[in-house]
Amino acid sequence: MDKVLSGYSCLILGLCLTHIALSQKKDTSVAVGVEASKNGGVKGTVDVSKDLGNGVSVNAGGSVDSRGNWGARAGISLRWRRSLKVHKDFQRFNVTLMADPCEFDFYDQDKDSRISKKEMMSIFGNNTAAAMLFHALDRETVDGTITKKEFDNLSAVVINDCFRGSL
């Protein structure tokens, strides 16, 4: 047991130092998380994303838990815009859409009745705030997905400006 605790202490320290070092770099975001479950299990995660410019970004991350399970991931994202020749009389519009931030279906993009961390990140971008919101809503089961019941129980508590609260 002492080896496990010592290993997790090193992991937590390493994740914190990684977060501090990388968050100082321009166009780099780092998300660090430590989760504890009811059965005494602990899981540490880290995700790093770097915007390289010109629509290219890279990301990497990993996790390890108290059972010795671990995982690693890496990826690259490419974005491009279709160029359009603009006529001199062509008007451009700023459009702001309002959505209820406490509407489950807004987040559940693949309509599988669960919100994944990937879905949350695709809405807000790959940033620390999205990861923090995801973990705040995945508090009841801490299983890596948010069910409608979990969302309904916690969304009004952790998300500001819910429309249903103002009706």
Residue 18: CATH number of its domain: 3.30.1300
Q: 64 and 108 in one domain?
A: no
Q: Is residue 22 in a domain?
A: yes
For the chain, the helix, strand and coil percentages under 3-state DSSP, each to the nearest 5: 35, 30, 35
Maximum distance among all alpha carbons in the chain? 71
Q: 51 and 110 in one domain?
A: no
The DSSP symbol for 163 reads: G
**Overall number of domains in the chain:** 2
State the pLDDT at residue 112: 94
Q: Is residue 136 in a domain?
A: yes
State the pLDDT at residue 70: 78
Please give the Cα distance from 8 to 137 (Å, whole number): 24
Of 32, 43, 37, 38, the residue nearest 8 (C-alpha): 43
State the pLDDT at residue 113: 93
Q: Is residue 114 in a domain?
A: yes
Q: Is residue 85 in a domain?
A: no
Q: Which residues pair with 54 in a beta bridge?
A: none
Q: Is residue 137 in a domain?
A: yes
Q: Which residues pair with 36 in a beta bridge?
A: 42
Give residue 141's domain range: 100-162
Q: 113 and 40 in one domain?
A: no
- Which pTM does this prediction carry? 0.42
State the pLDDT at residue 156: 84
β pairing state of 114-116 and 70-78: unpaired
CB 47 within 8 A of CB 131: yes
State the pLDDT at residue 130: 85
Q: Is residue 63 in a domain?
A: yes
Q: Is residue 41 in a domain?
A: yes
Strand order in the sheet with 42-53: 28-36, 42-53, 56-65, 70-78
For residue 111, the domain's CATH number is 1.10.238.10
What is the full per-residue pLDDT of the chain (167 aa) written as tens digits? Answer: 444 444 555 556 555 555 555 555 567 777 777 777 777 778 877 777 888 877 788 888 888 877 778 777 777 877 765 555 656 666 666 666 667 788 888 889 899 999 998 888 888 776 788 888 888 898 888 889 999 999 988 888 888 777 654 44
Please give the Cα distance from 25 to 19 (Å, whole number): 10
Of 79, 96, 109, the residue nearest 118 (C-alpha): 109
Contacts of 110 (CB under 8 A, 6+ apart): 116, 119
